Chain A
Amino acid sequence: MKNNRLGRQTIRFENPPTILNTASIVGPKEGEGPLRDYFDKVECDDTCKEKTFEKAEEYFCNESVETLLHKERLKSGDIDYYIGGDLLNQIISTSFTAKKLGIPYFGVYSACATFAEAIQLASCIIAGEFALNIVVSASSHFSSAERQYRSPLESGVQRKMTAQWTVTGAGSMLLTQNSKPPYITHVTTGIVQDYGIKEADNMGTAMAPAAVETILSHFKDTGYKPDDYDLIITGDLGTVGKDITMDLLLREGFDVSKNYTDCGVEIYDESQDTHARGSGAGCSAVVFSGYLFDQLNKKELNKILFVPTGALLSPTTTLQGDTIPCIAHAITIENTPELGKEAK
């Protein structure tokens, strides 16, 4: 068997899959943020005229996939697999979307790193020549997440300064066999990290070590250095987690201060009063599908390391005083595949 594995955690695609197109649809608050011009659609009402917020999230998810298919003039029948997930119990928004689409479906969950998990699996299926076209998606909704993970929306409690704001929106991506840039050349699958943080309203601090470990493993496995990338972007560490990640990477000998940022930090600005900025499965999904894909197409960015991060907590175990297991998955996306060092 030909070995395409690099080190412990990385796969190198000799025949790298193509990201053919993306679609992003967001709620009103994200539509007021600094990335507003990059999204395909901004809904002015976060209920989307649906009766419940769960239905609204399903609408976001479905609408992003439909928009994606429409852009490429494809039908459900042209897609071999649909891989996706969201934050709600039993990933229900994505499953309802899968029901409507009628595409063979893998439901996945890595909390806010779901989009990365879906992309990694899709890339492997395509590179293994088991499929031609795969759609991946991830979604989240502020109000449905609040009611599942925290307190009722109208209750008058104060949020902590470390708390992050769940992004309302859905992003989807169409992957296909090697044809044109941008390509997915490497994926580094994360190992769960848990440094004993228990506060569910401080997820940036909980997730930072997962991001750091995955980025370090990626550099170790591939031999790349921070300067090889135009941009290294984590998923939803927020302002608190971003600072910790940057500092920890520096302590480990990698200076990323010039080309590192975080999707959660970028999606809102200071004036939007979200405290530690954005989070949620939709956060990295819409920032990639909206902003990053646009920059890759315009060749403003040619090589990026996209590292969505996920806090794999359950409200039940949090109440029981358990810690928060966290994960981060890294994906290298390049316009000109250099592929780096070969597998031994």
Chain B
Amino acid sequence: MKSIKTDKEYKDYVKDKQPKQTLLKNCINAFIWGGSICIFGQLLFDMSKKHLELNEKDAATVQIIILIFIGAFLTSVGIYDKIGKHAGAGSIVPITGFANSIVAPAMEYKKEGYVMGVGAKMFSLAGPVLVYGTSASVIVGIIYYFFK
């Protein structure tokens, strides 16, 4: 092209040709959805303490089990991805999103068999979270050990 010659010229030219990412709307949606999931989690936590007479640790376990089940269940019936479309980070960051990131590939790759499909690919999305989550906690643990 005569008018555009280099990669940089093209990148500068297309900048204002891009549709606007609806950043503010996405942030508000993520806040509402993520907040709602957390409020629901808190509700589960408080109720298991009150009605099941559990201590804090056990109540947290019950809360997590229920949230993971709901995330996995909504993924399996094809609802979670529709929530994710609107909620964005709001439904990825809470533990329900973690359940989604494991159940979705497990469902997807079942067709390639239980060993090389489900077994090998199940953590294709959640793997990075586990690797870096665990690594970060080890580092924080070491820092805590020396500076507590």
Contact = CB atoms under 8 A, between A and B. Distances in A.
Co-complex (A, B): yes
Interface of A: 51-52, 147, 151-162, 195-197, 202, 205, 208-209, 212-213, 216, 239-240, 243-244, 247-248, 251-252, 275-276
Contact of B10 (A147, A196, A275): A196
Interface stretch (B39-47, B99-107, B127-135): B99-107
Nearest to B26: A158
Contact of A158 (B4, B20, B84, B107): B84
Contacts of A275: 19
Contacts of B14: 205, 208, 244
Contacts of B3: 248, 251-252
Nearest to A253: B2
A157 B19 contact: no
B125 A151 contact: yes
Nearest to B105: A152
A251 to B, nearest CB: 4
Given A160-B21, A162-B18, A153 B81 contact: yes
Task: Among A153, A155, A156, A244, find the residue whose CB has the most chain B CB atoms closer than 10 A.
Answer: A156
A152 B75 CA distance: 11
Interface of B: 1-4, 7-8, 10-11, 14, 17-22, 26, 75-76, 78, 80-81, 83-85, 87-88, 91-92, 97, 100-101, 103-105, 107-109, 111, 124-125
A160 B20 CA distance: 10
Contacts of B26: 158
A251 B2 CA distance: 9
A81 to B, nearest CB: 32
A293 to B, nearest CB: 31
B11 A152 contact: no
B92 A157 contact: yes
A244 B104 contact: no
A153 B108 contact: yes
Nearest to B9: A195
A147 B104 CA distance: 11
A156 B81 contact: yes
A36 B107 CA distance: 31
B107 A152 contact: yes
Which 5 pairs show the lowest CB-CB distances between chains A and B? A156-B84, A196-B7, A152-B108, A155-B104, A154-B104
Contacts of B11: 195-197
Nearest to A251: B3
Given A205-B18, A248-B4, A252-B1, A154 B78 contact: yes
B91 A154 contact: no
Contact of A154 (B4, B10, B103): B103
Contacts of A196: 7-8, 10-11
B18 A152 contact: no
A9 to B, nearest CB: 15
Contacts of A276: 19
Nearest to B91: A156
Contact of B1 (A155, A156, A248): A248
Nearest to A249: B1
A243 B14 CA distance: 10
Given A155-B101, A157-B92, A243 B80 contact: no
A157 to B, nearest CB: 6
Given A205-B17, A251-B3, 19 more contacts: A52-B111, A151-B104, A152-B109, A153-B81, A154-B81, A154-B100, A154-B104, A155-B100, A156-B81, A156-B83, A156-B85, A156-B87, A159-B85, A161-B18, A161-B21, A240-B19, A248-B1, A248-B3, A252-B1
